Chain A
Amino acid sequence: MATETKDIVSACVDSYGSAVGMPQLCGEWMGNQIFWLVITLVAIFLILSRVALPRIGAILAERQGTITNDIAAAEDLKAKAVEAEETYNKALADARAQAQAIAAEARAEIQADLDVAIAKADAEIAAKAAESEAAIAEIRAGALDSIQAVAKDTAGEVVAALGGQADEAGIAGAVDARMKG
């Protein structure tokens, strides 16, 4: 082996490139390891604290905000829907009440017209009835007079036929007396 020519570069590595003991306990590397490690840690810390974490935090906060906003908007819309429904119900109730009022009004109007018509008809009927009664009374009176005249004539003839001298005034008085009887 070329151990004589190749100088051993480290106390922790033999000439074959194998570890002597534990590489982790090799003191001569530690300065190098710690140096690069500290640089790495500082780099990661700067990357995280300057870029990554604020960005992810902002994204999460923004999402939280969006969700909250959306929920609020949804609640708003829901309230609006409830309000609209109430308005609709109210309008419906109003319309119904109005319709009832109109119906009642129409009914009252019809009733009034009807009443007037009935009253008019009643009055007409009453007038007609009175007229008829008057006519009947007239007719009855006319009939009585005719009967009286017929009775007087008949009585005068009957008296003449019996041979008597008919006294016009006596016959009239007797007929009148009988008629009243």
Chain B
Amino acid sequence: MEGDLAHIGAGLAAIGSGAAAIGVGNVAGNFLAGALRNPSAAASQTATLFIGIAFAEALGIFAFLVALLLMFAV
């Protein structure tokens, strides 16, 4: 029973990955919008784009980590 609850919890935690996907999409979309307005500045900002994506994704990774821990470690 406890294991079942942990599985449900893991599934709930996986929702966090979807939230992170929204965040990453936001970052990338806004970058694209900005890059199309000023294409000359886009190349110099790709590093910033990846850093922003990485930070947004980090929180999704925590959700993933929680899911993993619930699945396998609890």
Chain B proximity mask over A17-56: 1 for CB below 8 Å, otherwise 0: 0000110010000000000000000000000000000000
Nearest-neighbor residue (CB-CB) of A23 within chain B: B72
Task: Give the number of chain B interface residues (Cβ < 8 Å).
Answer: 4
Q: Is B43 an interface residue (CB 8 A)?
A: no
In Å, the complex CA distance between A107 and B73 comes to 117
Q: How far is the CB of A128 from chain B (nearest CB, A)?
A: 100
Q: Is B19 an interface residue (CB 8 A)?
A: no
Q: How far is the CB of A27 from chain B (nearest CB, A)?
A: 11
Q: Is B35 an interface residue (CB 8 A)?
A: no
A-B contacts, CB under 8 A, total = 9
Task: Give the number of chain A interface residues (Cβ < 8 Å).
Answer: 3
Q: How far is the CB of A21 from chain B (nearest CB, A)?
A: 4
In Å, the complex CA distance between A21 and B73 comes to 7
Q: In this complex, which of B68, B71, B72, B73 has the most chain A Cβ atoms within 10 angstroms of its Cβ?
A: B72
In Å, the complex CA distance between A22 and B72 comes to 6
In Å, the complex CA distance between A22 and B68 comes to 8
In Å, the complex CA distance between A25 and B73 comes to 8
Residues of B within 8 A of A22 (CB): 68, 71-73
Residues of A within 8 A of B72 (CB): 21-22, 25
In Å, the complex CA distance between A21 and B72 comes to 5
Q: How far is the CB of A10 from chain B (nearest CB, A)?
A: 15
Residues of A within 8 A of B71 (CB): 22
Residues of A within 8 A of B68 (CB): 22, 25
A and B contact pairs by CB, cutoff 8 A, 9 listed: A21-B72, A21-B73, A22-B68, A22-B71, A22-B72, A22-B73, A25-B68, A25-B72, A25-B73
What are the 9 tightest A-B residue pairs by CB atom distance, in nearest-first order? A21-B72, A22-B72, A25-B72, A25-B73, A22-B68, A21-B73, A22-B71, A22-B73, A25-B68
- Interfacial residues, chain A to chain B (CB-CB below 8 A): 21-22, 25
